[in-house]
Structure 1
Amino acid sequence: MLDILKKVLLFENLSDDTLKSIQKDCVIVSLKKDNIVFYEGDESRYLYLVLEGKIKLYKTLANDNELVLKYFKEDEMIAEVAVFDGFDYPATAEANSDVKLLKIDCHNLKELFLNNPDILMQINTSLIKKIKNLESVLSRYLILDAKSRVVEYILENSDEFFTLKQHEIASFLNISPETLSRMIKPFKADGIIDMKNKKINTKRLALYKS
């Protein structure tokens, strides 16, 4: 467990004694695909570090559709901002595959964390990244049309584009898998997207950006 904690960006500058104290409030949990890690509105008591698999974070809209905010992958931490700011989980986290998570109970650790400037700095950095991600999601969902969403997503996530399944990307973009397939078909035919060699001609693709 100590070796795992040392790899967590949030804790990388902490002493072994401090990590041993944190370790007492940690447990490794395994979840099957589609299991819920936490629901939107639940009390934010736990931090989660993805050890294996992938987590989908989403909000449920008034029409019961999902607005996907982010996919968390290995070595990414979930919910640190909610935990340290003391508000309920703002979205639902669901296992997008079979996953293994490090679950950290922060009830007894919050004072320790908040008195450590290194951890506070990492939290601020994480908050800035999450705000930028939310701005991107809102812009994509509220402003851009389907084609522009697809182009912008590929330009910003060219590596991830080849690792995610098509229905996952479609869900993230709030379009149907059929629409996504139709949108990228001309790019494949024109050699802009090379699925075989996993390459994208970003300069040419950027010409299609609105």
Structure 2
Amino acid sequence: MNPLRALPLFEDLNEETFSKLTEIARQRRFQKGEILFFEGDAPNDLVVLTKGVLKLFKTSSSDKEVILHHFTPVSLVAEVAVLHRIPYPATAVFEADSEVLLINYDAFESMFLSNPELARILLLSLSKKIRMLESVIERGLVMDASERVINFIRKSPELLKTMRHYEIANILNLTPETFSRTLKKLQHEGKVINSEAGWEALP
């Protein structure tokens, strides 16, 4: 499935319109450590993370890194800055080899936002996304360590091969010790397995 269909913003578009959307999207690959954008850069594209991990952070006056968010697939990245035509409020760096889809915003605005019917569909989709984010926030507040690890394995199993445990623990807001202990516990309970094909969360 085209990863754009995984986004609530685009899931209700008909095939003809969705096809037009894919025509203005281009794929780019990035290596771990590469910068997607710096704080203060002017945005030109809607960014969709389809593979990997992207860290959003700011640097304090004392040069301390303040992590704002980790994006995992499939996610729209900093779309508010693009939609409002304001500079990016933070810097984004890839924490794993990653892939993104870049949607030219000028073409997107001309093609979609000038059409009242499409604008209505997108507005409904944005409302749906807000409700989804509220649900995600609620789950994040009540999820225990085991639930967070299982959810991560289901969403991004390949990252357990490429990222260090302390990096994944940081994404999950766990200590490295808690992450390792939880992973071993889930394996012992038969809730996750690590086979030749990689990590898998069992039903």
Q: Tell me the SS of whatever aligns to 1:174.
A: coil
| Offset at residue 127 of structure 1 (A) | 5.9
Question: Partner of 1:39 in structure 2?
Answer: 38
Judged with a 3 Å threshold, the aligned counterparts in structure 2 of structure 1 residues 31 and 187 are, in CA distance, closer, same or farther, namely closer
Structure 1: stretches of 5+ with no match in the other structure: 1-5, 202-210
Query: By how many angstroms is 1:193 displaced?
Result: 3.3
TM-score by length of 1: 0.60
Find the aligned partners of 1:119 and 1:125 in 2 and give their Cα distance: 10
Residues 1:107 and 2:106 aligned together: yes
Q: 1:70: which partner in 2? A: 71
Matches of 2:145 and 2:80, distance apart in 1: 29
Matched AA of 1:195: N
For 2:131 and 2:78, locate their aligned partners in 1 and report how far apart those are by CA, in whole Å: 13
Cα RMSD, aligned residues only: 4.1
Matched residues in 2 for 1:91 and 1:127: separation?
Answer: 25
Once the two structures are overlaid, the 10-residue window that deviates more, 98-107 or 172-181, is 98-107
1:35: how far off?
Answer: 0.9
1:81–1:126 contact (8 Å) kept in structure 2 = no
Identity among equivalent pairs (%): 22
Alignment of 1:7-18 (within 5 A): 8-9=4-5, 10=10, 12-14=15-17
**2: distance between equivalents of 1:50 and 1:44?**
15
Superposed counterparts of 1:170-181, under 5 Å: 170-181=169-180
> With structure 2 as the length reference, what TM-score do the two structures score?
0.62
- Partners of 2:84 and 2:16 lie apart in 1 by 21
Cα distance in 2 for partners of 1:89, 1:138 equals 27
| Aligned residue type for 2:174 | I
Change (3 A) 1:101 1:7: closer
* Distance of 1:97 and 1:32 partners within structure 2: 7
Q: Map of 1:1-210 to 2, 5 A cutoff?
A: 8-9=4-5, 10=10, 12-14=15-17, 23=24, 28-50=27-49, 53-60=51-58, 64-73=65-74, 77-89=76-88, 92-107=91-106, 109-116=108-115, 117-118=117-118, 121-122=121-122, 124-126=124-126, 128-129=128-129, 132-133=132-133, 136-137=136-137, 140=140, 148-154=143-149, 156-157=151-152, 159-160=154-155, 162-165=157-160, 166-196=165-195, 198-200=200-202
* Equivalent AA in structure 1 for residue 17 of structure 2: L
1:48-100 CA-partner distances (Å, limit 9, x unpaired): 2456x424143448663424342135xx5544454234454455432233344
- Give me the whole-angstrom Cα distance separating, in 2, the residues matched to 1:7 and 1:182: 33
**Using the alignment, how far apart are the partners of 2:151 and 2:111 within structure 1?**
36
Residue 37 of structure 1 and its aligned partner are, at CA, apart by 0.9
The CA distance in 2 between the partners of 1:134 and 1:29, in whole Å, is 30
CA displacement at 1:38 relative to structure 2: 1.8
